[in-house]
Amino acid sequence: MSVTWVLPRKLAELTGYTEKAIQDKISNGVFPEGTVWKKAPDGRRLLNGKEYDKWVESQPITM
């Protein structure tokens, strides 16, 4: 079974971001609603791991 949408706790576990950092990115519009995150039918926020990867890869590399 492949799971695309996960709770913030799981994304935090996988990425190293804290749950608060993830919630802040949602609240501040850094993670776009409908692609990186959405509300499930029960009202909980879910995050798409594949879209998160795209978000990471879209950032310019600075040194």
What is each CA distance from 62 to 17, 21, 40, 59, in whole angstroms? 20, 21, 35, 9
pLDDT tens readout for residues 9-52: 999 999 999 999 999 999 999 999 999 999 999 999 999 999 99
CA atoms within 13 A on the CB side of 9: 1
Residue 62 has pLDDT above 80, yes or no: no
Residue 60 has pLDDT above 80, yes or no: no
Predicted local confidence at residue 55, as pLDDT = 93
